[in-house]
Amino acid sequence: MRNIYGITLEELETYFIEHNIKKFKATQVFEWLYKKRVSSFDEMTNVGKDIISQLKQDFNIMKLKIVTKREDIDVVKYLFELSDHNRIEAVLMHHDYGNSLCISTQVGCNMGCSFCESGRLKKVRNLDTYEMVVQLLMVEADLNIRISHLVLMGIGEPFDNYENMISFINIINTPKGIDLGSRHITISTSGIVPKINEFADYPKQVNLAISLHAPNDKLRSKLMNINKAYPLDVLMKSVKDYIKKTNRRVTFEYIMLKDVNDSLECAEELCQLVYGINCYINLIPYNETSHISYKKSDHSSVLAFYDYLKKHNIAVTIRREFGSKVNAACGQLRSNYEEE
């Protein structure tokens, strides 16, 4: 039995047609789910009892369980439990431009980035589409807010769960549904080149972010196993092809690790690597964890790195720090909770 939150509007319309139900009823059901936020099929008062009975036969409307929630200034971190008792995380961040939610796409992660807590707990499975949708719905309901921006940057590699990720975007972007604008959605990938190439053909104007974190192959391969499969020359070609095809700017994420990748020599190499590319660099202060030896770069080093890029006409920002007190590093709350 499928979960109704994992069904796109087009799939639901097809389902209704196959069951000799008028197509517009799918829109009514979608509006009950995502506009009026009902918690049962029986609350859909303008949908016939025979249709309700059919829906109950083929779909469930279950959500997730909130295991724990931790709050700090402008940030709330959730640990959710799935129906098979696996656990995932989501993080809500209050910005001056709105409420941004970072969700998980997998239980665990196989990318094995050496600085990432998620990589210590290997991939168990992909999340179903509904398990991504429900993270958003439950955070909105719990905090009585609306999410204005969404990032797929939590536990897991989104491009390693590509089909479910695309269905998720289609559901939350549907005007009759959640209606979250595509330009307010960002997909973050460690650099799976074939999927970057495939994503270039996706018609919606969703943002693409690349986890870069190093300006040369030697260092990036040390930090990120994915670089051994898709080294920087291959990755950068795919990014350039993506930009040429979509005419969209790409974000390069760069976690600042003390005495690892935060030198001015690295800044110089980074300038050379991205020269001429329609992009900007997002410098990310590192959230330290008890299981990994990397340390956060000194503030002075971050500023010096930032200034070097600025002086060389590279668009760059420093991400605001969030949630050091609530285990905000990706996978950290899940790992610590399970150890406890």
Chain region(s) in the chain for CATH 3.20.20.70: 65-339
pLDDT at res. 203? 96
**pLDDT at residue number 326:** 55
The catalytic site residues sit at 89, 330
Residues 315 and 100 sit within 8 Å (Cβ to Cβ): no
What parts of the chain have a pLDDT lower than 50?
Answer: 334, 337, 339
Predicted pLDDT of residue 339: 47
pLDDT digits (tens, 9 = 90+) for 35-93: 999 999 999 999 999 999 999 999 999 999 999 999 999 999 999 999 999 999 999 99
Q: What is the pLDDT of residue 53?
A: 96
CA distance 215 to 317: 17
Q: Which of 113, 144, 111, 108 has its CA nearest to residue 126?
A: 108
Angle between helices 24-34 and 9-18 (to 10 degrees): 140
Residue 81 CB partners (closer than 8 Å, separation 6+): 64, 65, 66, 67, 87
Give the separation between CA 65 and CA 68, rounded to whole angstroms. Answer: 9
Q: Which CATH superfamily is domain 65-339 in?
A: Aldolase class I (3.20.20.70)
Full-model pTM: 0.93
Q: Give the pLDDT confidence score for residue 100 in this predicted structure.
A: 97
pLDDT value at residue 327: 53
d(CA 340, CA 61): 31
2-60 CATH: 1.10.150.530
Matching residue, tokens 């949708």: 133
